[in-house]
Amino acid sequence: MTDYYGIADLNRSEALQARRSVSISIDLSALRYNVSVSKRLTNGAKQFATIKADAYGHGAIPVAHALSASGIRRGRTSSEQPISDDCFADGFAVVTLNEALELRDSGIRDPILILQGPQSPDACEEMVQHDLWPVIHDLAQYEWFRRVDNTDQLNAWLKVDTGMGRLGMNTQQANEVLASDHGINWMGVMTHFACADETENDFTQQQYDRFQQVNIRAGMCKSLANSAAVLNWPQTHEDWVRPGIMLYGCNPLDRALSTSDTLKSAMTVEAPLVSVKSLPAGAGVGYAQSWHCPEDMPVGYVALGYRDGVPRVLDETAAVSIDGKRCAIVGRVSMDSMAIDLRGVTDAKVGSIVQFWGEDAPIDLLAKAAGTISYELLTSVTGQRYYTDG
């Protein structure tokens, strides 16, 4: 493939020859499709694509260039199919200054929102210098910026804690800051929802109502909706939304999505079978012999373990896929491998590719089996990443 993103693409066979043979395939066109879903649901609201934590394990730089209209147009040839503007982000959201500077160094010129704002007074000047958009959530940060030159050039966002109990000023503090004559250019005011994934929980509405108590001046933007609010709380969409986990094809809600809102999974994680054995009934598998074969059966061993970011503790529902056929994970996950039940895939052999999550193995099911969430799996898995685009 053409190297659009400053990172050389690897083909599948090359990826599977990597040192650990764990292949992480990222479909960049799926990310753009998911942006288009967010835009449609929010009636064209501007989109901060949230690419913190290395784009949830997908690679922040290639993801940003794939979702930036200017970035992708620099890398595509005139003969390639044009991409609709509805598929691009309007800006990006990260957590730290270093994340933002890496994007700037890679050529990203779109707005970059820094969700935790400055962590020291020195960082304030760099944010002004590089035209970054800090979130100011604490009075200490506000005081730091008061001592910085050219703050009238700053596109700052004020964060209000409406009930999350995390970062943000309370409504009284926010109103006092907004009423100040100090020269910070407030672009907007934002908050973050604690329970938006719980579709019947009215706490999101309570937070929304508290946000209405902030005296936001005319012309200032509002940003409230995360992925779950984009998908379920239309009253919160406002000027800018901040889709995160939904960009990567994961459903954050406590219910299934409608067919019209279906997202495309962007990451596929695979590894090869390195051994296939026939074990007799009663044979134990793995550490502590916690699982025993119920009958004579084939058991496969996959070159992926907890050192690669797969949880060590999984319940009996944990499964992977070979050629679209589900195979249960049996026994305890080891550091470098795990065992799977091959009774339903009689033609499996050494070298067969096992999908841990992707189109044939939904990540949400594996996350549930691990007692965790898809966010943790995406940001924990390690291996050779390679990129496709359509």
The answer to whether residue 39 is catalytic is: no
Q: Which two tokens stand for residue 390?
A: 């359509």
80: confidence class by pLDDT, cuts 50, 70, 90: low
Q: Is the predicted pLDDT of residue 154 greater than 60, yes or no?
A: yes
Same domain, residue pair 75 and 164? yes
In a domain, 31, yes or no: no
Report how far apart, in Å, the C-alpha atoms of 310 and of each of 270, 336, 367 are. Answer: 12, 10, 10
Same domain, residue pair 216 and 276? no
- Please count the helices (runs of H) and the strands (runs of E) in the chain: 13, 18
Same domain, residue pair 107 and 211? yes
Given the structure tokens 């907890």, which residue do they identify? 306
Please name the residues in contact with 92: beta carbons below 8 A apart, sequence gap of 6 or more.
48, 49, 50, 51, 64, 67, 68, 103, 108, 110, 111, 112, 113
Query: Which pLDDT score, from 0 to 100, does residue 338 have?
Result: 97
How do residues 263-280 score in pLDDT, each as one tens digit? 999 999 999 999 999 999
In a domain, 14, yes or no: no
How do residues 18-50 score in pLDDT, each as one tens digit? 445 899 999 999 999 999 999 999 998 999 999
Domain count, the chain: 2
Q: Is the predicted pLDDT of residue 322 greater than 60, yes or no?
A: yes
Same domain, residue pair 86 and 209? yes
The mean predicted confidence, pLDDT, of the chain is: 92
Same domain, residue pair 234 and 279? no
Among 326, 244, 278, smallest CA distance to 48 is for: 244
Among 383, 368, 352, smallest CA distance to 26 is for: 383
In a domain, 122, yes or no: yes
Enclosing H/E stretch for 57: helix 52-57
Q: Is the predicted pLDDT of residue 79 greater than 60, yes or no?
A: no
Count the alpha carbons within 13 Å of 54 in the hemisphere toward its beta carbon: 11
Same domain, residue pair 133 and 219? yes
Same domain, residue pair 116 and 209? yes
Enclosing H/E stretch for 63: helix 60-67
Same domain, residue pair 116 and 190? yes
CATH number at residue 81: 3.20.20.10
In a domain, 4, yes or no: no
Query: Which pLDDT score, from 0 to 100, does residue 73 have?
Result: 52
152: confidence class by pLDDT, cuts 50, 70, 90: confident
Beta strand spans in the chain (E): 23-27, 46-50, 91-94, 112-114, 133-136, 156-159, 186-190, 221-223, 240-241, 267-279, 284-285, 291-292, 297-302, 319-322, 325-330, 338-341, 353-357, 384-388
Q: Which two tokens stand for residue 302?
A: 């996959």
**Given the residues 52, 159, 375, 386, the one annotated as active site:** 52
Same domain, residue pair 228 and 338? no
What is the distance, to the nearest Å, from the Cα of residue 173 to the centroid of all Cα atoms in its chain?
A: 31
Q: Is the predicted pLDDT of residue 313 greater than 50, yes or no?
A: yes
Rounded to whole angstroms, the Cα distance separating 226 from 144 reads 28
In a domain, 3, yes or no: no
Q: Is the predicted pLDDT of residue 315 greater than 80, yes or no?
A: yes
Same domain, residue pair 243 and 337? no
How do residues 158-204 score in pLDDT, each as one tens digit? 999 999 999 999 999 999 999 986 778 899 999 999 999 999 999 99
> Where is the domain boundary, 221, 251, 281?
251
Please name the residues in contact with 173: beta carbons below 8 A apart, sequence gap of 6 or more.
139
In a domain, 17, yes or no: no
Rounded to whole angstroms, the Cα distance separating 28 from 83 reads 12
In a domain, 36, yes or no: no
Q: Count of CB atoms within 10 A of residue 2's CB? A: 10
In a domain, 15, yes or no: no
> Where is the domain boundary, 211, 226, 251?
251
248 in Cβ contact with 31 (< 8 Å): yes
Rounded to whole angstroms, the Cα distance separating 227 from 358 reads 20
The answer to whether residue 287 is catalytic is: yes
CATH number at residue 347: 2.40.37.10
Query: Which pLDDT score, from 0 to 100, does residue 12 have?
Result: 52
Strands 325-330 and 338-341, how do they pair? antiparallel
Q: Is the predicted pLDDT of residue 9 greater than 70, yes or no?
A: no
Same domain, residue pair 121 and 196? yes
Same domain, residue pair 231 and 347? no
Domain with 282 in it? 267-388
